[in-house]
Structure 1
């Protein structure tokens, strides 16, 4: 199934013809407050228990065209945004030139795979804009796009074995990890408000298929910049989930950005980012 969060934190199923509101089919109270979002985390952690009733509600309901609803980020207030660094070999290679240009040196430690945290408040949805921070622009720092496969955690846990890691995945989405190229910690440079667009919906893992075979593509104002298949990931999705869970307990609804493909580049006000992932959809984001 494909799920959106739309309008006032309503849960929708994407079907032919648009979106069907399936909020009423949830077996627990729906709190529209996105900060508490308990119903959302319960859906991620217990999807197997409610799959059939949500599917039935989607089949019985009347769809509303997508252009008549406001799509929110398809995740609500996750406890954390985990991001993978240096996870495509060609991106690692291009970062040597990027860092020489933007920092005047290469930070070798940043060329190794690892995970770090982004602020959940940087999340926005497919109907929102990326807003470049005024101080960053005035300082002359480049701000780059990174189009990535996003994983949404289901049951979660600690020390999850790689062999069973995909059983802990609720679904997948498209993500943009927007990044200031400057000195300082990754987490700060990637955590400005609007720097984590996710959308347009979550495709559940049972429908999405093999996460090692997604085609990712991004154009910036019509110019192709990123094009890669996730088979090129250095550390696979199961290995990322397992490794992250060895550091921190993954909770239902947590979000993992799986790493930037090659082709990252600067964005400026007025740019339009069109990003797509096979079987997961596409979204268009304006830069302001």
Structure 2
């Protein structure tokens, strides 16, 4: 299934260019407050149990054109955003030049795979603009796009075995890890409001199939910047989930950015970014 959050934080089942409101099929109260909307995290955890009711509602409900509703980020108040660094070899190579230009040196430790945290308040949706911090723009620092496959955690857990890791995934969505290129800590540079756009919906894990064979594309003002297949990830999705869970308990609804493909580059006010991932969808975002 493709599940979207739309309008007054309603739950929708997406089919083609339409969406069906399936909120009333949830077996628990729907709380429209984003800060307390535990129904979303329960959905991520208990999807297998409630899926038949959601599918029944999706098959019988009235269809709304997608362009008649406002889509929100398919994540409500996750406990954390986990993000992967240095997870495509070609991106690691290009970062040598980027760091020489923006830092005047290469930070060799940053060229190794690892995970870090972003602020959940940085999440925005497919209908929102990316807002560049005025003080960063005024200082002349570069702000880059990073188009990534994003994992949405299902059952979660601690010390998850790699062989079982995909069974702890609810689904996948598109994400942009917007990044200030400076000497500041990663979490600080990547946690400004609107620096984690997600969308347009979550495609459940069973429908996606192998997350290690997805094509990622990003266009900036119609020009191709990033194109990669997730087969070239250094650390694959099961290993990412397992590795992260050894340091922190993954909770239902948490999101994991899986790493920036090569082709990162500056964004400026007025730019239009289009990101696509095969079998997942696409979203277009304005920069201001």
Same fold per superposition (TM over 0.5):
yes
> What residue in structure 2 maps to residue 123 of structure 1?
123
Please list the CA deviations of residues 216-246 of structure 1 after superposition, one character each: whole Å capped at 9, or x if unmatched.
Answer: 0001001100000000000000000000000
- TM, length-normalised to structure 1: 0.99
2-structure distance, mates of 1:270, 1:16: 29
1-structure distance, mates of 2:259, 2:16: 31
Please list the CA deviations of residues 22-79 of structure 1 after superposition, one character each: whole Å capped at 9, or x if unmatched.
Answer: 0000001111111011100100000000011101100001110011100000110100
Please list the CA deviations of residues 124-173 of structure 1 after superposition, one character each: whole Å capped at 9, or x if unmatched.
Answer: 00000000000000000000000000000000000000000000000000
5 Å-filtered alignment, 1:182-193, equals 182-193=182-193
Quote the RMSD (CA, aligned, Å): 0.5
5 Å-filtered alignment, 1:206-245, equals 206-245=206-245
2-structure distance, mates of 1:107, 1:238: 28
> What residue in structure 2 maps to residue 106 of structure 1?
106
2-structure distance, mates of 1:17, 1:136: 38
> What residue in structure 2 maps to residue 202 of structure 1?
202
Please list the CA deviations of residues 70-92 of structure 1 after superposition, one character each: whole Å capped at 9, or x if unmatched.
Answer: 00001101000000000000000
SS of the residue 1:64 aligns to: strand
- How far off is 1:16 after superposition? 3.5
Alpha-carbon contact 1:17-1:63 (below 8 Å) kept: no
5 Å-filtered alignment, 1:76-155, equals 76-155=76-155
> What residue in structure 1 maps to residue 159 of structure 2?
159
- How far off is 1:17 after superposition? 4.4
Alpha-carbon contact 1:157-1:250 (below 8 Å) kept: yes
Tell me the number of residue pairs that the alignment of Structure 1 and Structure 2 aligns.
288
2-structure distance, mates of 1:161, 1:63: 41
SS of the residue 1:14 aligns to: strand
- TM, length-normalised to structure 2: 0.99
1-structure distance, mates of 2:236, 2:23: 34
Alpha-carbon contact 1:3-1:14 (below 8 Å) kept: yes
Which is further off, 8-17 or 100-109? 8-17
- How far off is 1:21 after superposition? 0.4
1-structure distance, mates of 2:277, 2:55: 24
Query: Is residue 2:21 matched to residue 1:24?
Result: no
Alpha-carbon contact 1:160-1:242 (below 8 Å) kept: yes
1-structure distance, mates of 2:261, 2:205: 21
Alpha-carbon contact 1:41-1:253 (below 8 Å) kept: yes
- Long gaps (5+) in structure 1: none
